[in-house]
Amino acid sequence: MKTHNLVQGSPEWLAYRAQHFNASDAPAMMGCSQYKTRTQLLHELHTGLAPEVNAGTQRRFDDGHRFEALARPLAEAIIGDELYPVVGSLGKFSASFDGLTMLEDTAFEHKTLNDELRACMKDEGNGYGLPLQYQVQMEQQLMVSGAGRVLFMASKWEGDELIERRHCWYASDAKLRASIIAGWTQFSEDLAAYVPVAPVAAAVAAAVESLPAVVVQVQGELVVASNLTEFGALLRAFIKRMPVKPATDQEFADTESACKALKKAEDALEAAETSSLAQLCSVEEMRRMVADLRTLARTTRLASEKLVAAQKDAIRLDIVSRGRAALAAHVDSLNARLGKAYMPVVNADFAGAVKGKRTLASLNDAVDTLLASSKIGASATADRIHANLTTLRELASAHAFLFADAAPIVLKEPDDLRALVKSRISEHQRAEEVRIEADRERIRKEEVARLERERLADEEKAKRQRVADDALLAAPAEPEIVLSPIIQIQPVQLVPLPASRLVDAFKPTPHYTPALRLGAISERLGFAVTADFLRQLGFEPAAKERAAVLYHEHDFQLVGAALVAHIEKVMARQRLVA
* 175-176-177 Cα angle (round to 5): 90
Burial 40-67 (b: 16+ CB within 10 A, else e): bbbbbbeeeeeeeeeeeeeeeeeeeeeb
- How far apart (Å, rounded) are the C-alpha atoms in residues 464 and 481? 33
Q: Which of 297, 318, 333 corresponds to the end of one domain? A: 333
Count CB atoms within 10 A of the CB of residue 545. 10
What does the pLDDT look like over 372-398, one tens digit per residue? 889 888 998 999 899 989 988 888 888
Query: Is 424 within a domain?
Result: no
The pLDDT tens digits of the residues spanning 267-313 come to: 888 888 777 766 644 556 677 777 888 888 888 888 877 877 777 77
Write down the pTM of the prediction. Answer: 0.52
Contact by Cβ (8 Å): 216, 274 = no
In what helix (H) or strand (E) does residue 156 lie, and over which residues does it extend? strand 149-158
Distance of CA 450 to the CA centre of its chain: 55
Tell me whether residue 388 is in a domain: no
Same domain membership, residue 165 and residue 31: yes
As a whole number of Å, the end-to-end CA separation of the chain is 128
Is the domain of 167 the same as that of 308?
A: no
Q: Are 58 and 179 within one domain?
A: yes
| 46 lies in the same domain as 135 | yes
Per the CB < 8 A criterion, the answer to whether 406 and 361 are in contact is no
CA–CA gap between residue 179 and residue 383 (Å, rounded): 13
The Cα 102–Cα 90 span in angstroms is 17
Question: How confident is the model at residue 483, as a pLDDT?
Answer: 42
In the listed set 303, 333, 363, which residue is the last one of a domain according to the structure?
A: 333
Task: Examine the domain organization and report whether 81 and 136 are in the same domain.
Answer: yes
Per the prediction, the chain carries an average pLDDT of 82
The DSSP annotation for 389-449 comes to: HHHHHHHHGGGGGG-TTHHHHTTS-HHHHHHHHHHHHHHHHHHHHHHHHHHHHHHHHHHHH
Judgement on whether residues 47 and 181 belong to the same structural domain of the protein = yes
Q: Which domain holds residue 512?
A: 499-577
Residue 387, in any domain of the structure: no
Is 72 part of any domain? Answer: yes
Q: Do residue 310 and residue 233 come from a single domain? A: yes
417 in any annotated domain: no
Which residue ranges in the chain fall short of pLDDT 50?
220, 222, 280-281, 480-497, 499-506
Q: What is the pLDDT of residue 280?
A: 47
User: Which pLDDT value is given to residue 86?
Assistant: 92
272 and 169 in a common domain:
no
If one counts every other C-beta atom within 10 angstroms of the C-beta of residue 117, the result is: 20
